[in-house]
Amino acid sequence: MAVLPCIVALVLNVVTGCSKKEMSQALETAKSKTRAFTNSAVEAVEETRPESGEVTLNLAPNRITISNAELDLISIGDGRPNVVQITTYDPDASSRSYPRFLLHGITNISTASNLAGEKVQCDVYYQESETSPTAMTQPGEAMTVTFQRNNSTAKVLTATLAMISLRGSDDSVIHIEGGNVLAVIRKETK
């Protein structure tokens, strides 16, 4: 795109015999129009990207929706598998929102867009409120998360959650009868 204004200015100079001042003005006009076009294209792409995703959990007997689902793909390196995480909260934020949900799984996939079509076994952590116990997958168990391609934007992945029972820190049991995720891809750490 940066080459286009130079070509336009050169053609104008050769064809019309423009002075240096006229050529500079033509170049600046072409640059300005190119910037405007680029900015409008960027704005159009940003408008299609959702501000936040969401997780819908089918908890027996109710269904709940949790906002702000974000996906992080972390590359460990040294031949070790990568980590995929979906969270509904910012771990660095001073204030906490509830309910909170975290999926944490291991994968050999190196980019978030390549997760589409993959099934990843994930540990699950769920906390309904600030005073409720944290529920998690039991040792040796994992939730199957099946990722799909999202055609609306490359910055979002959808996934289907399988059924699983979580054990609370107070020894209670929470049954998740499946669910869905729409996660905004925030980080791909390499």
- Distance, CA of 85 to CA of 107 (rounded, Å): 10
pLDDT grade, residue 18 (50/70/90)? Answer: low
Statement to judge: residues 77 and 153 lie in one domain: yes
Domain that holds residue 60: 54-189
Statement to judge: residues 91 and 131 lie in one domain: yes
Q: What is the pLDDT of residues 29-87, one digit of tens each?
A: 766 766 665 555 445 444 444 567 999 999 978 899 999 999 999 988 888 999 999 99
Statement to judge: residues 173 and 97 lie in one domain: yes
SS3 assignment, position 8:
helix
Statement to judge: residues 9 and 77 lie in one domain: no
Q: Could you identify the residue written with the tokens 């959990």?
A: 57
Statement to judge: residues 68 and 159 lie in one domain: yes
Contact between 12 and 23 (Cβ < 8 Å): yes
Q: Whole-model pTM above 0.85?
A: no
Count of CB atoms within 10 A of residue 68's CB? 18
Statement to judge: residues 36 and 89 lie in one domain: no
Mean pLDDT, the chain, as a whole number? 82
Statement to judge: residues 59 and 42 lie in one domain: no
Statement to judge: residues 71 and 24 lie in one domain: no
Burial of 93 (0-12, 13-18, 19+ CB in 10 A): exposed
Statement to judge: residues 19 and 110 lie in one domain: no
Structural domains counted in the chain: 2
Q: What is the pLDDT of residues 169-185, one digit of tens each?
A: 999 999 999 999 999 99
Statement to judge: residues 35 and 69 lie in one domain: no
Q: What is the pLDDT of residues 108-118, one digit of tens each?
A: 998 888 899 99
Statement to judge: residues 60 and 99 lie in one domain: yes
Mean pLDDT of 101-109: 96
Statement to judge: residues 32 and 122 lie in one domain: no
